[in-house]
Amino acid sequence: MMVLAAVLGGCAGSPDGDDPKSSPSASAASRGTGAANAPAERGGSIGTAGSACELPVTFDIAKDWKAKAVDSGKYTSATDGDGGDGDLAGDLADALLHQGPVTLACEVDAKPAGNIGFLRAWKGEPGDADARAVLRAFVAAEDNTSKAKYRAFKTGALSGVEVEYVYTSKLLDESKKECALAVTTAHGPVVLHLGGMDSEEHEEMLPAYELAKRTLRSA
- Name the more confident of 78 and 219: 219
Query: Cα angle at 205 between 130 and 29, to 5 degrees?
Result: 80
Residue 24 has pLDDT above 50, yes or no: no
DSSP 43-72: EEEEBSTTSSSB-SEEEEEETT-EEEE--H
Q: Which residues are CB-contacts of 186 (< 8 A; sequence separation ≥ 6)?
A: 56, 126, 218
The answer to pTM > 0.85 is: no
Which range marks the domain in which residue 70 is found? 2-218
Show the CA angle centred on residue 104, arms to residues 217 and 147, nearest 5°.
Answer: 80
Contact between 68 and 52 under an 8 Å Cβ cutoff? The reply is yes
Cβ neighbours, 10 Å, residue 121: 26
Q: Say whether pLDDT at 13 is over 50.
A: no
CATH number for position 34? 3.40.1000.10
Q: Are 90 and 81 in contact (CB under 8 A)?
A: yes
Domain count, the chain: 1
**Phi, psi torsion values for 172, nearest 5 degrees:** -95, -10
Work out the mean pLDDT of the chain and round it to a whole number.
83
Mean pLDDT of 129-153: 96
Q: Residue 112: its pLDDT value, please?
A: 97
